[in-house]
Structure 1
Amino acid sequence: MSDLLWQKAGTRTDERVMRFLAGDDVRLDREFFLYDIAASEAHLEGLAHIGIVSEDERHELMVELENLAWDFRNGQFVLDEKYEDGHSAIEAHLTERLGDTGRRLHTGRSRNDQVLVATRLWLKAKLAVLHALCIDVAKIALDRAAASPLPLPGYTHLQRAVVSSTSMWFAGFAEAFIDNTQRARDTLAWIDANPLGTAAGYGVNLPLDREHTSEVLGFARLQVSPVYAQLSRGKFELAALDALGSALLDLRRLAWDLSLFTTAEYGFVALPAEYTTGSSIMPNKRNPDVVELMRATYASVAAARTEIEQLLSLPSGYQRDLQFSKGALVHGFARGLAALELLPDLLARMQWNETAMRAAIEPSMYSTDVAIEQAAEGVPFREAYRRAAAAADEAGQGRTPEASLAARVSPGAAADLRLAELNARLASLAA
């Protein structure tokens, strides 16, 4: 490990202790490294604005930071275990290249506000991806809802209940992902605050140009209080995981439907071949492994959320416990976004089996229609309910799924899906 930034003269370090302290930081910081460099460039410009570094020093440091970013992107600079973390790697590189000039960049900042700003920039990028994926899912679901509907059994308690349609199924998940789009956007806006310049949580005795760094880094506003900058750590990560988890909860239920609908017992859906795998021993099998792992992915986000939440039983000010939040956050977003990236194509290409769905619609599934029709003619609903229950096996006489769906005129139901309203809401969130 390279010289430690915080090493004091005359003190000794224990390699076992250092390995424990560093943990996975260097490996995880590869995720944040380019954001840390971008924040370093913004901080450098701010220092130049207040005369802490000269124009020549600013130019030299900026060139080296740009070169470091280029080398990292192209694999010529490797962030590995010879560094304590990404922050130390930046300073070590600049010092090696520029000597004392390289040592000037850290003036007025701490690794505390470095990790805060890099994490917020990283999360803004991840939430933008989440926002875009939710839009893609909602668009495809709305498009398929607008296509010719097919009769589909509607279930409650996993029991056949009423006649539904493929359009209603798609419209339901479309609106779910419209809500998820809004949550991703709103969470991004909440996180969009700049902590750079709050240092270790108490500010510094320099007139740092924090408004300039906010503008350069694309933040909407300052995170004003240095104390709150530290108090917010963990809190904003949880909010981002909640936004991701909201989408994955809907994915889990959608995946459960497809897991059931693809069984031979249902036979309602055929998945694209690429989304299934074979058995290692049973030649006859094609398994919906992708759908099953989509269903499982929420567990990773829930675990990440729990891990971070359990770290937050802390007093104010920075505590090293918070280092462990980084791995949970990276892991949760990696798995969550990977699952969601597969969903738009899956929804676009899955195929319904109309014959199997029609065959599963049994006469008793029209009983609710019968009861409501009688109630509309003046029969008290509980009496109409009793009559329909007594004659449930005959409820389908003279009825078709199409007629049942066409009569379902309540707003949002099969005859009035309000797809234009949903499309307009989605368009407003995509703007």
Structure 2
Amino acid sequence: MTQPLWQKSGIQIDAKIMRFLAGDDVLLDREFFLHDITASKAHVEGLAHIDVVSIDEAAALKRELDALADDFRSGAFVLDDRYEDGHSAIEARLTERLGDAGRRVHTGRSRNDQVLVATRLWLKDKLVALETHCRAIAEVCLERAAQPAVPLPGYTHLQRAVVSSTAMWFAGFAEGFIDNALRARQTLALIDANPLGTAAGYGVNLKLDREHTTKALGFSRMQVSPIYAQLSRGKFEMAVLEAIASAMLDLRRLAWDLSLFTTAEFNFVKLPAEYTTGSSIMPNKRNPDVVELLRASYASVAAARTEIEQLLSLPTGYQRDLQFSKGSIFHGVRHGLMALELVPDLLARLQWNDEVMRAAIEPTMYATDVAIEQAAAGVPFRDAYRAAAEAAASAGAGRTPEASLAARTSPGAGDDLRLDELAARLAAIEPPVN
């Protein structure tokens, strides 16, 4: 391993302790490394603006940072256990190539604000991806909800309740994922603050050009207080995980529906073959493994959020405990986005078994229609309710699922889905810009 940035003369480094201190940091930093390089370029420009590095030195540093990014992308440079972390690797590379100019690059910053800004840029990218996936899911749901509605039993308590439809089912998830897209956008607005230049949490005795780095890095505002910059670490990561978790909760319920609907007992849905797998011993089986793993994926996001929350039992200022948040945020975000990316194609291609669903609508499922019709005619609702309950077995006489849906005229119900209204809400969330 190269000499740590904090190494001082006269102190012997113990290899076992260094392995514990470094942990998986250098491997995790591969995910954030290009953002760290981008932030380093902005920092160099800011240092040049206040004459800490010369114009020529700044140009050389930026050139080498670009070369490092290219080498990292191509595999010519590997971030590995030669380095304590990605920050150390950047400084070591610049020092190797440029000598004293490379040694100046850390002036006015700490690894604390360095990791904050790299992570913040990474989180912004992931929120854009989250919004994109939620938008795509909502669009597919709206498209399928606009197709001719097929009667589908509506359930409460997992018991057959009232007549529903495929259009209502898709419209419900469309609205859910529109809200999830909006939450991603709102979370992006929350975290879109530049922490670079706050150093170790107390500022520095240099008039850093933080306005420039804020603009150069594409942040909407500066994170003003150095103390709050440190307090926001973990808090902002949790906010991102909560935005993903919101989408994953809807996905979990959607996956649960599909898990039930694909059973032989329901037989409402046929999945695309690519979304099923076979059994290793039972030749007759096709298992909905993808749907089951989509259903389980919320757990990874929730676990990541919980781990970060437990780390945040800390006083003001940076504490090394926060190093462990990197793994949590990386794994939780990565898994959540990977799951959501699969959903639009799955929903676009699943097939409903129309006749089976129609056959599952039994006469008692019209009892609510009967009670409400009687109440609308002037019978006190509770009396109409009791009468409909007593005659529930014959409630379907002369009725069809289509007629039940057509009579459901309350806003959002079977005859008034308001899909245009939902589409307008989605359109009002302007598409994300990378």
Same fold per superposition (TM over 0.5)? yes
Note the aligned Cα RMSD (angstroms).
0.5
Amino acid paired to 2:38: A
- Offset at 1:100? 1.0
Name the structure 2 match of 1:44.
44
Q: Deviations over 1:35-56 (max 9, x none)?
A: 0000000000000001110011
Question: Secondary structure of 1:162's partner?
Answer: strand
Q: For residues 341-380 of structure 1, what are the structure 2 equivalents within 5 Å?
A: 341-380=341-380
Q: Distance in 1 between matches of 2:415 and 2:192?
A: 42
1:234-383 map, 5 Å: 234-383=234-383
Partner of 1:410: 410
For residue 59 of structure 1, report the CA deviation from its aligned partner.
1.0
Quote the Cα distance in structure 2 between the aligned partners of 1:56 and 1:138.
51
- What is the CA–CA distance in structure 1 between the aligned matches of 2:331 and 2:47, rounded to whole Å? 35
For 2:209 and 2:63, the matched residues in 1 are separated by 21
Matched ranges for 1:6-405 at <5 A: 6-405=6-405
Q: Distance in 1 between matches of 2:430 and 2:54?
A: 43
Q: Is the 8 A contact 1:365 1:396 kept in 2?
A: yes
The Cα of 1:430 is off from its aligned counterpart by 3.0
Partner SS, residue 429 of structure 2: helix
Report the identity percentage. Answer: 76
C-alpha distance in 2, partners of 1:339/1:132? 13
Structure 2: stretches of 5+ with no match in the other structure: none
Q: Is the 8 A contact 1:234 1:312 kept in 2?
A: yes
In structure 1, list runs of 5 or more residues that go unmatched: none
Q: CA deviation at 1:101?
A: 1.0
SS across alignment from 2:413: coil
User: 1:332 and 1:225 mapped to 2: Cα distance?
Assistant: 28
CA distance in 2, matches of 1:60, 1:118: 22
Counterpart-to-counterpart distance in 2, 1:345 and 1:430: 22
One-letter identity of the residue aligned with 2:370: V
Deviations 1:160-212 (A, max 9, x none): 00000000000000000000000000001110000000000000000000000
| 3-state SS of 2:188 partner | helix
Provide the C-alpha distance between the structure 2 equivalents of 1:96 and 1:51, rounded to a whole number of angstroms.
Answer: 22
Q: Equivalent residue of 1:80, what SS?
A: coil
Q: Deviations over 1:311-332 (max 9, x none)?
A: 0010000000000000000000
Aligned length: 431
| Cα distance in 2 between the residues matched to 1:226 and 1:335 | 32
Measured in 2, the distance between the counterparts of 1:237 and 1:408 equals 43
Deviations 1:364-387 (A, max 9, x none): 000000000000000000100000
CA contact (8 A) 1:363 1:395 kept: yes
Partner Cα separation in structure 1 for residue 415 and residue 318 of structure 2: 57
- For residue 377 of structure 1, what is the amino acid of its counterpart? A
Conservation of the 8 A alpha-carbon contact between 1:135 and 1:430: no
CA contact (8 A) 1:194 1:219 kept: yes
1:73, CA displacement in angstroms? 0.6
Counterpart-to-counterpart distance in 2, 1:60 and 1:328: 36
Query: Does residue 421 of structure 1 match 2:421?
Result: yes
1:379-425 Cα distance to aligned partner (Å, 9 max, x none):
00010000000000000000000000000000000100000100000
Secondary structure of the 1:12 match is coil
- Report SS of the residue matched to 1:430: coil
Quote how far apart the aligned CAs of 1:295 are. Answer: 0.3
Q: Distance in 1 between matches of 2:20 and 2:3?
A: 17
CA distance in 1, matches of 2:143, 2:225: 46
Distance 2:429 2:350 in 1: 26
In structure 2, C-alpha distance between the alignment counterparts of 1:328 and 1:76, rounded to whole Å: 28
Q: Runs (4+) of structure 1 moved beyond 4 Å?
A: none
- Letter of the 2:228 counterpart: Y
Distance 1:139 1:212 in 2: 38
Report the CA distance between 1:334 and its aligned residue. Answer: 1.0
1:64-100 deviation per Cα after TM superposition (whole angstroms, max 9, x unaligned): 0000000001111000001000000000000111111
Query: 1:60 and 1:419 mapped to 2: Cα distance?
Result: 56
Q: Secondary structure at the match of 1:164?
A: strand
**CA distance in 1: counterparts of 2:233 and 2:58, whole angstroms:** 30
